[in-house]
Amino acid sequence: MTPASSTGSQLPKCTAESFHRKAKAAVPDELKLALEPTFRVLGDLALEIKEYDRSITRVAKRYPDVQLLSQPDGVGLLTALVYLLTLEDKTKFKKSRSVGPFLGLRPKKDQSGDSDKQLRITKAGDPYLRRLLVGSANFILGPFAADSDLRRWGLELSTRGGKNAKRRAKVAVARKLAVLMHRLWVTGEVYAPLGYQKAA
């Protein structure tokens, strides 16, 4: 349960899909009338999202390789579908590790004198796919993800490097995930979260 700010009442933990129903039942009577329009909008949004999810599932069925790409925890059908349609041809990369730079998930470098600074990522390639991969990485590093070598690696990386460590770890996990997905696509292998032969 989480506190409902100034009223001190508790809202139940729930999914985003059911929030409008459960929160409405938990809100004090004196607030229900004022919050009714908000709950109605949230309910409409939940229905629209459900319909979009059905559409994505229908489109994904036309591309059997989407199932290969969506094996890692945190990679949904939308991310796998956008990945497949953006890269189009799995044979265009001789090595899976080339996918990360192609998508702009490689840090720029500033090499001058004895210093070799890492800058922000290049942001080459498709920005929408990059956002989806970073979102998947965010899930992988979050509290609800299943245990995996990728998650362990990312969490360990996030403890190093000062205040920007978590952000860098998220991008690094997104890059490794892009490489992993390409490898799964090329080989058709079944993905094992722990002990999988990493491509990068």
Of residues 15 and 147, more confidently modeled: 147
- Verify that 49 and 147 share a domain, yes or no: no
Decide if 2 is inside a domain: no
| Mean pLDDT to the nearest integer, 137-151 | 94
pTM for the structure as a whole: 0.76
- Verify that 25 and 119 share a domain, yes or no: no
* pLDDT value for 65: 95
- Verify that 55 and 68 share a domain, yes or no: no
- Judged against a pLDDT cut of 90, whether residue 182 lies above it is answered with yes
- The Cα 48–Cα 84 span in angstroms is 25
Decide if 68 is inside a domain: yes
- Verify that 88 and 136 share a domain, yes or no: yes
- The Cα 186–Cα 9 span in angstroms is 53
* pLDDT value for 141: 95
- Verify that 141 and 69 share a domain, yes or no: yes
* pLDDT value for 116: 42
- Verify that 70 and 30 share a domain, yes or no: no
- Verify that 41 and 93 share a domain, yes or no: no
Decide if 198 is inside a domain: no
- Which sign does the torsion angle of CA 185, 188, 191, 196 carry? negative
- Verify that 46 and 143 share a domain, yes or no: no
- Judged against a pLDDT cut of 60, whether residue 173 lies above it is answered with yes
* pLDDT value for 200: 43
- Judged against a pLDDT cut of 90, whether residue 84 lies above it is answered with yes
> 21 is in which domain, residue-wise?
8-59
Decide if 102 is inside a domain: yes
Owner of token pair 């919050």: 35
Per-residue pLDDT band at 154 (split at 50, 70, 90)? very high
Q: pLDDT tens digits, residue range 96-109?
A: 999 998 998 876 55
Of residues 11 and 67, more confidently modeled: 67
| Tally of domains within the chain | 2
